[in-house]
Amino acid sequence: MNGPLTVGEAAPDFELVTHSGEPLRLSSLRGRQVVLWWYPKASTAGCTLEGQAFRDQISEFEARGAAVIGISRDTPADNAAFAEGEGFPFPLLSDTDGEVSLRYGAIDSTEQSHPRRVTWIIGKDGRLERHYDQVSPKQHASQVLGEL
């Protein structure tokens, strides 16, 4: 495992399962900006607010050519219930072993069951463009959108 990620370096590639059970590889999104947002636990109050804000502004993200992807340590089934219950039009990824969350700084060890609210914007070239730590669930989507 390398040290902490920094803006400007290549985003580490990974493949995780979406809430619909399909694998998604980060590198398959090359050519688009990608907003990776970590949330602590599916269907909890703050995570729901944050997800709803991304959902409600998804057309603006898409108009800018950006893909929005949520990540948690929840199971695909828990993420499916969350996505379907809230009508999320973007994938929720399950990082059940915590390896991706650890690499991207959302957790400090794989023993940590709930990631922090961390977001990375990845550029079209696959490089890390922006990092957000300790975000406000209600305001975060607008903040990110304003900086794309």
Q: List Cβ neighbours of 131 (8 Å cut-off, separation of 6 or more).
A: 5, 7, 105, 118, 119, 120, 121
Tell me how many helices (H) and strands (E) the chain has: 5, 7
**Does 47 participate in catalysis according to the annotation?**
yes
User: What is the three-class DSSP state of 3?
Assistant: coil
Task: Considering only CA atoms, give the Rg of the chain.
Answer: 14
Tell me the domains of the chain and their CATH numbers: 29-147 (3.40.30.10)
Which entry of 42, 47, 80, 128 is annotated as an active-site residue?
Answer: 47
Give the model confidence (pLDDT) of 95-117 as tens digits: 999 999 999 999 999 999 999 99
Structure tokens at 137: 């669930």
Give the model confidence (pLDDT) of 32-61 as tens digits: 999 999 999 999 988 999 999 999 999 999
